């Protein structure tokens, strides 16, 4: 029993002392994804700030994504004319994303969300040639 306890202490020491072989800069191990965001998502968006559109403005979009491990990539298109690429990562049920806009002009938005079954909700913000935008969203997987 003492030998097992000693081995456990040594293993913890090695993991802490060597940085644990992964994780973030705080020393925490990465949390594996518990959800899969692969698929097509119907998104409802509401402006909460910025100068692109009035707060409370509402529009819809579609995101098509593929998840490999914790990495996510895909495309998005809004029904008001915006489109681009989505990239991000999943940790547990948290989704962190970057939206790179290519049309109608170049822009970048960063967002976070929580996946609950076939539902995804969160916020994002950023800017393009039309100005700044903060928004909330809810999405349903088809």
The whole-number pLDDT of residue 29 equals 75
CB neighbours (10 Å) of residue 118? 12
Torsion of CA 85, 39, 71, 32, to 10 degrees: 150
Q: Which two tokens stand for residue 119?
A: 């539902």
* Residue that the structure tokens 């998502």 belong to: 41
Answer yes or no: is pLDDT of 23 > 60.
Answer: no
pLDDT tens-place string over residues 29-46: 779 999 999 999 999 999
CATH placement of domain 39-141: 2.40.128.120
Domain locations in the chain?
39-141
pLDDT tens-place string over residues 88-110: 999 999 999 999 999 999 999 99
Residue 56 CA to its chain's centroid (Å):
23
The whole-number pLDDT of residue 27 equals 63
Element (H, E) at 26: none
């Amino acid at each position: 029993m003492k030998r097992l306890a000693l081995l456990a202490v040594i293993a913890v020491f090695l993991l802490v002392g060597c940085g644990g072989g992964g994780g973030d800069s705080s020393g925490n191990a990465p949390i594996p994804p518990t959800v899969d965001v692969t698929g097509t998502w119907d998104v409802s968006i509401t402006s909460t700030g910025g100068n692109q559109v009035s707060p409370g403005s509402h529009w819809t979009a579609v995101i098509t994504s593929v998840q490999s491990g914790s990495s996510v990539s895909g495309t998005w298109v809004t029904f008001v004319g915006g489109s681009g690429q989505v990239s991000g990562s999943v940790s547990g049920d948290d989704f962190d994303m970057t939206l790179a806009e290519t049309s109608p002009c170049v822009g970048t938005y960063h967002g976070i969300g929580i996946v609950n079954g076939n539902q995804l909700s969160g916020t994002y913000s950023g800017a393009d040639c039309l100005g700044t935008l903060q928004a909330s969203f809810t999405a349903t997987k088809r």
